Amino acid sequence: MTTFADHLTQQGLLPSTKGKYTAILSASEGKDPVAWLRKRIHPRTPIGTVLPLRAAVKHYLLSQGYEEDEIKSLLPKAKGRPSGMRDALTPKMLVTYYKAAEQYDDPVRTILLLLPRTGLRISEICGLHIDNDVERGGVRGLQFRGKRDVERFVPLNRAAAKALDDYYAAFSPKDYLFMGYMGTSITPHAVRKVTRDIREKYPELGELSPHVLRHTHATSLLKKGADLRTVQALLGHKNIATTARYLHPDDEMLQDAVERLG
pLDDT in tens, 69-128: 888 888 888 776 555 555 789 899 999 999 999 999 999 999 999 999 999 999 999 999
Task: Look at residue 85 in the predicted model and tell me its pLDDT.
Answer: 52
Q: Is the pLDDT of residue 249 over 70?
A: no
Do the Cβ atoms of 107 and 114 come closer than 8 Å? Answer: no
Q: Decide which of 151 and 16 is more confident.
A: 151
Do the Cβ atoms of 37 and 53 come closer than 8 Å? Answer: yes
Q: What is the mean pLDDT of residues 10-34?
A: 80
- Whole-number Cα distances in Å, 230 to 32, 134, 221: 42, 20, 9
Q: Three-class SS of residue 202?
A: coil
Identified catalytic residue from 7, 18, 217, 237 = 237
How sure is the predictor about 161, in pLDDT bands with cuts at 50, 70 and 90? very high
CB atoms closer than 10 angstroms to residue 9: 14
Task: Look at residue 210 in the predicted model and tell me its pLDDT.
Answer: 94
> Is the dihedral angle over the CA atoms 58, 121, 43, 29 positive or is it negative?
positive
237 catalytically annotated: yes
168 catalytically annotated: no
Identified catalytic residue from 121, 176, 215, 217 = 121
**Residue burial 98-121, b: 16+ Cβ < 10 Å; e: rest:** bebbeebebbbbbbbbbbbbbbbb
Q: Which amino acid is at 166?
A: D
Rounded CA Rg of the chain: 20
Task: Look at residue 262 in the predicted model and tell me its pLDDT.
Answer: 46
Task: Look at residue 117 in the predicted model and tell me its pLDDT.
Answer: 97
Task: Look at residue 260 in the predicted model and tell me its pLDDT.
Answer: 56
Q: What is the mean pLDDT of residues 164-187?
A: 91
Taking each helix axis from N to C end, the angle separating 188-201 and 91-101, rounded to the nearest 10 degrees, works out to 110
202 catalytically annotated: no
Identified catalytic residue from 21, 60, 97, 246 = 246
246 catalytically annotated: yes
Task: Look at residue 137 in the predicted model and tell me its pLDDT.
Answer: 92
Identified catalytic residue from 140, 211, 223, 248 = 211
pLDDT in tens, 133-142: 999 999 999 9
Task: Look at residue 33 in the predicted model and tell me its pLDDT.
Answer: 87
Identified catalytic residue from 18, 58, 117, 214 = 214
Identified catalytic residue from 117, 147, 215, 217 = 147
42 catalytically annotated: no
Q: Which of 231, 128, 130, 223 is nearest to 173 (CA)?
A: 130
Task: Look at residue 243 in the predicted model and tell me its pLDDT.
Answer: 75
196 catalytically annotated: no
